[in-house]
Amino acid sequence: MATTAADYMWFEEDFPDLAESYCVTLVHDVPPDELLHRLDGQSESEVTGITALVDTAFDLWGPSTTRTYFGMTTLGPWTLMIEPNGWHGVNEKKALPASAGTRWISHYDNANANNDGSFLWVEDTELQLHFELRDVGCRSGTRADDLLDVIRRLGFTFPEEPTETDDDLAVPAAFALAEYITDIRVNPALLQDTTFICGTADFR
C-alpha cells in the first residue's frame, strides 16, 4: 500500500518539540563525515535519542548564534540529517553545492514563523523541485510538475483548489513525499533510539 500523510501523523503528536521547528534531509551515498565536510561543519559529541538532540540544539541557540546543530545517521545508502531549529537542508545556497554528485531531499517547517515550511529536491546541484509546504501551487525546478498526482494524493494544499478537510497535513505529507522519492521511512523508534553523529555549521 502506498505511503500517505496518515503514516506520519505521529510526528507532530509524539515529537512536538522537534516538530515546532525542524529540518529533515536525506542524502544519497554521502556518509555523515562527508556530509559534515560538505556543509563546512565541525564535529560535536554524539547523542542518543531525539530528545537529547533537540535539547542540545536549543541550549546552543541564542540571539548571537550563527551556527545550527544537527544529528546524522545512516539508513542503507542514505544519510539522514535532522536539524532541530535549523534549515541547512532547504537552504539552496548550502544545499545545491553540497548535493554535487548525489541526490538531496529535504523538508522544513517552523511553527514559530507562521508555519514557514518548504520542500526541496536537488540532483547533482540541479534543482528538481521546490515548493512551500502550504502553497504547492507555486513550484519551481525541472520536475516541478512530475509528481503533481502524488502531491495531491498526499494532502498538500493548492490554494486555488478546494480541499476536503481543514486539517493541516503539510508536515506529514512532506515526510510521505520524501519517502516516495527515497524509499526511506522515518519512524518513531528511529528517532527515539538512534545514536546520532552530530555537528554544527554556519547558516550564513
The answer to which of 45-49, 85-89, 117-121 has the lowest mean pLDDT is 85-89
- pLDDT, tens digit, 9 for 90 and up, residues 2-53: 788 999 999 999 999 999 999 999 999 999 999 999 999 999 999 999 999 9
- What percent of the residues of the chain are helix, what percent strand, and what percent coil, each to the nearest 5? 35, 30, 35
Which of 103, 87, 108 lies closest to 183 in space, CA to CA? 103
What predicted TM-score, i.e. pTM, was given to this entire model? 0.93
